[in-house]
Structure 1
Amino acid sequence: MFDSLFEQIQHPNLDFLLEAIAVITAIIYVWLAARSNYWCFLFGFISSAVYVYICFQFKLYFDVIINLFYLLMSVIGWVSWKNNTEDNILQIFSMNKREFWKLIALGISITILLAAIATHFSDASLPYLDAFTTVFGIIATILVIQRKIENWLIWIAVDIVAISMYFYKGLQLTALLFLIYTIIAISGYISWKKQLNHD
């Protein structure tokens, strides 16, 4: 993994430079989101726009769809968080367990359906992993905008699956990004949990 990454750094091409921009802005997005800062959505918008192009080039069509979704959610998230921040403090909420597990079951069902469709009707690469990261990324994003702490638990699962998918596809920087995401998601969960307990 690292030999290929170092080779790309020494001899960068346009795809590598675009991936680097997407990775850096994505890290800033998650770091700011973990700190309940609405500026996160500006960086999320930039990262998602670049990833639309990258994922299309690598035939990760569900990831194209989710990054288009992230573009829209970045705008909605910006407005929602900016309008719901009091004294620079964003109120955090929690789901009940039954609600959470129903959402997980729904996500798994949609993942299986989308992956089966992609397998039969497209040349999608890694359709089950790609569908999982897309479906649960959408769920987690909606929970982020709703300021539900469970978003971080879902992001941790999505990040772990994404690491293997992107590594397999040869996108080492993006695989590394999702490793960093995992660490930040754990930190975000801890930070939001403290804030939730404080409220």
Structure 2
Amino acid sequence: MDLQHWFGILTGQLKETTVLQWIAVSLGVTEVLLARINNVWLYPAGIAATAISMMLLTESGLYAETLLNGYYIVMSVYGWMHWITKKNEPPIKISYSTRQEWKITLAIVFIGWGVLYLALRYFTDSTVPVADSWISATAWAGMWLLARRKIENWILLNISNLFAIPLLFHKNLAMFGLLTAFLFVVAVFGYFDWKRKYRQQLSA
């Protein structure tokens, strides 16, 4: 298929994009921009975006991603409360994952993938159980590393993003696909930014 064909598919999907998708994506972009300037309003924006996304993902049969977004809401509420109560405390330093942390990360990915796949395959009407469960499992692992301030979190999150982009377009969620592509780029910059900060820590 040529570029013009893919552009036609994208244009057609964008024309069919619902108002809720536009709102969810707009709030998602707002969250990222607020996070970049370290503004606490990123949390309510993110919670609203995620709540709407859960509704739309459920309608599209992406149940594992819906569950993943539910986790995002829980972590956003936790982050919001943590910000209010401990904003002035020094952050955990950035570091590389240890061998033990890699073992845990891989266990989260592959055990999570297997459990989610079986749940989707036998207890839902999902038409994409392999991809949906893989995207969620790698994102769970990435978020675990992110919470521990490990540089490799960006790698796991972008593995998830890389597979999520075509799946979202396949499910006619074009705006979510474009948002995920945007987040992919953000994560690439995040990876190199954290590596730079890690070197600065060592030389401090």
TM-score (norm 1): 0.82
Number of residues paired by the alignment? 195
CA distance in 1, matches of 2:44, 2:195: 24
State the superposition RMSD in angstroms. 2.6
Contact kept? 1:84, 1:90, Cα under 8 Å: no
Q: Deviations over 1:39-75 (max 9, x none)?
A: 4333321211111110111111112211111111111
- What 5-or-longer segments of structure 2 have no aligned partner? 1-5
CA distance in 2, matches of 1:156, 1:110: 17
Q: Which amino acid aligns with 1:169?
A: K
Structure 1 residue runs of 4 or more that deviate by more than 6 Å after TM superposition: none
TM-score (norm 2): 0.81
Q: 1:82 to 1:97 in 2, by over 3 A?
A: farther
Q: 1:118 aligns with which of 96, 120, 135?
A: 120
Name the larger-Rg structure. Answer: 2
* Structure 1 position 55 matched with structure 2 position 54: no
Q: 1:16 aligns with which of 15, 18, 32?
A: 18
Tell me the equivalent position of 2:70: 68
CA deviation after TM superposition for structure 1 residue 130, in Å? 0.8
Task: Report percent identity of matched pairs.
Answer: 26
Q: Which amino acid aligns with 1:2?
A: F
Q: Which amino acid aligns with 1:3?
A: G
* Structure 1 position 2 matched with structure 2 position 7: yes
Compare relative contact order (CA 8 Å, sep 6+) and give the higher one, 1 or 2: 1
Contact kept? 1:159, 1:178, Cα under 8 Å: yes
Q: 2:158 aligns with which of 147, 156, 159?
A: 156
- What 5-or-longer segments of structure 1 have no aligned partner? none
Secondary structure at the aligned position of 1:170 is classed as coil
